[in-house]
Chains A and B, each alone.
Chain A
Amino acid sequence: MFRMKILYFASLREHLGRSEEYFTIDTKTTVKVFFMENISGRVKGLNPEKFLYAINEEMADADAELSDDDTLAIMPPLSGGSRE
């Protein structure tokens, strides 16, 4: 069993109505698969490729593997701003 803490930010936090959750899953998984199985269905039109991720406060790819006790931050894309 893997227990993980998930952090939500900005628009995703509002959509889900919470800033964090704990999940316990049976098998090892990647960030992307976790997102598809646990987050995608809760808010319409979410694309895991568009989000930024951090595992234990280090930026991570969607293909990164999650381990027991990890804290995964799911972050909406940054606004970027305009130079022009």
Chain B
Amino acid sequence: MTRIQQDDFSMDREIALCLGDRRDAGGVATFVGIVRDISKDKKILKIEFSHYGAMADKELAGVRRTAMERFDIINLSIVHRVGTLFPGDRIVGIAAVARHRGPAFEACEFAITELKKKVPIWKKEFTEEGEEWVEETP
């Protein structure tokens, strides 16, 4: 239910996978992160996403596990892309299935926030003025 991949994904497929044959589900909340064409007033040409494969898989699974424990949800799926992406491309897709909408929305928000804090994926923005890693300056 968590994946990191280069290929694009379909949210319809993510929802179907997440939902399975559960008939007690009352809703699915989704979040899709997309490459913006502007960052700090600079025009984005592309973004390269790189990751620490083994750790990223493990941490992403951990985010899902924590969300499943913390919220009253039936299922949660997270897919994140790596590689070179262009404005308009999907980056990350999250689907949370629950009996009621409240926990579904909460789990979705929790998952994207935790993912950004914990999963070792870095991005490098390429603009018309050059390239820059998006991270706090160490």
User: Which chain A residues lie closer than 8 Å to B70 at the CB level?
Assistant: none
Interface: A66 (CB within 8 A):
no
Chain B residues bordering chain A, tally (CB within 8 A) = 24
Known A-B contacts A9-B120, A10-B124, A75-B120; the reply to A54 vs B135 at CB < 8 A is no
Known A-B contacts A10-B135, A78-B122; the reply to A57 vs B55 at CB < 8 A is yes
Main SS class of interface, A? loop
Q: Which of A3-49 contact B (CB under 8 A)?
A: 7, 9-12, 14, 45-47
Known A-B contacts A57-B55, A76-B122, A79-B122; the reply to A47 vs B138 at CB < 8 A is yes
Most B CB atoms within 10 A — which of A12, A47, A78? A78
Q: What 0/1 pattern do residues 78 to 122 of B give for CB contact below 8 A with A?
A: 000000000000000000000000000000000011001111111
